[in-house]
Homo-oligomer: A and B are copies of this chain.
Amino acid sequence: MAEMNNIASGANIHINTHRQILSVSSNGSNCDKMEHKAGGWFAEHCPIWPGQAHLLKVEKVLFEGKSKYQRMMVFQSSGYGKVFVLDGALQLTEKDECSYQEMMTHLPLCSIPSPNKVLLIGGGDGGILREISRHKSVDQIDICEIDTMLIDVYKQFFPDIAVGYDDPRVKLHVQDGTEFLQSVPNATYDAIIVDAFDPIRAEHELFDSPFFESAAKALRPGGVMCIQAESLWYQSLDIEQLVSRFRHVFGGSISYAWTVVPTYPSGVIGFLLCSTEGPYVDFKKPVNPMDPDQISGVAKQPLKFYNSEVHSAAFCLPTFAKRRN
């Protein structure tokens, strides 16, 4: 992270026109002043991806603020629509949020017949709620999100995403996710979607907490959980170890899938799909397919990314990722 800190601590970057090498040198100045000028660029700090950065041109900063839990920023980019940044990390852009939200939701919900009760932990933006809302079989959508300011900011600046809250089946629980899970009666949910943490890795401290055990108990037999799980290109990704840890906790089938999100580091993100002991779930085969042309629930547009072919393809891994297994 020395490189990114170099930049982040107020360096001058000099860009050489013809050879395109930027020389970075610290100028020692205090850079805490806000920069709202048109013509600015947003750069993401990404500790696990040193030596690279993705820049988005900022047309206008629309919001900056800090809740009890985190810092937030919304800006209008010139190429990706509005962008939401949480504690310095890019959360989503209007242009490419579709792949993450749709895959995160429909990979689990299309893998089981007629999901009925669904819990979302985190995902305060409302995009996954919007996607759950497309499922007619669902009659209860609980969301556990602790940061109400985040919800308000999304409702103000991203109405097409926060539209998920308009579904009357949605019930918001403003609470810590682990606490909420521990209060849930056993076998309550058909599906739990966890959109609350950094991408999960085998060494993640969450495995030492009661979080996943509580999630497994909150699922019915053969119920499913989906959580984001690191890029395929991340050198230390060990899918076999991840699968083995989750299998130990959930007891059913566990599969790794992935999708593309251009504005995430390396352009891809993985998902861990977990089922509890009970009716066998073959995540690769969508038993509950969706009509790609239908507009249902509170979503105002049909699916942009997900379809049954893309669902199954998401489980096909490059050889290097299989070999790490």
Contact = CB atoms under 8 A, between A and B. Distances in A.
Interface in A1-26: 3, 6-25
Contact of A266 (B25, B56, B73, B262): B262
Q: For the complex formed by this chain, how many copies does it contain in all?
A: 2
B79 A51 contact: yes
Contacts of A36: 21
Contact of A233 (B15, B25, B96): B96
Contacts of A95: 233
A24 to B, nearest CB: 5
A303 B19 CA distance: 33
Interface string A31-58: 1111111011111110001111111111
A322 interface: yes
A25 B12 CA distance: 11
Interface string A198-217: 00000000000000000000
Interface stretch (A137-145, A156-164, A183-191, A312-320): A312-320
Given A98-B320, A317-B310, A44 B20 contact: yes
A260 interface: yes
A304 interface: yes
A110 B50 CA distance: 36
A21 B61 contact: yes
Given A31-B15, A78-B51, A316 B305 contact: no
A14 B8 contact: no
Interface in A63-83: 64, 71, 73, 75, 77-80
A296 interface: no
Contacts of A6: 39
A52 B80 contact: yes
B20 A8 contact: yes
A288 interface: no
A295 to B, nearest CB: 13
A292 interface: yes
A285 to B, nearest CB: 14
Contacts of A50: 57, 78-79
A319 B99 CA distance: 10
A10 B14 contact: yes
Contact of A15 (B43, B57, B96, B304): B43
Interface of A: 3, 6-25, 31-37, 39-45, 49-58, 61, 64, 71, 73, 75, 77-80, 85, 88, 95-96, 98-99, 232-233, 260, 262, 266-268, 292, 302-307, 309-310, 312-313, 316-320, 322
15 contacts: A8-B17, A15-B43, A16-B35, A18-B88, A19-B73, A20-B42, A23-B40, A24-B40, A51-B56, A51-B77, A52-B80, A53-B55, A99-B318, A309-B317, A310-B319
Q: A-B pairs with the 4 shortest C-beta distances?
A: A267-B267, A51-B79, A51-B78, A313-B313
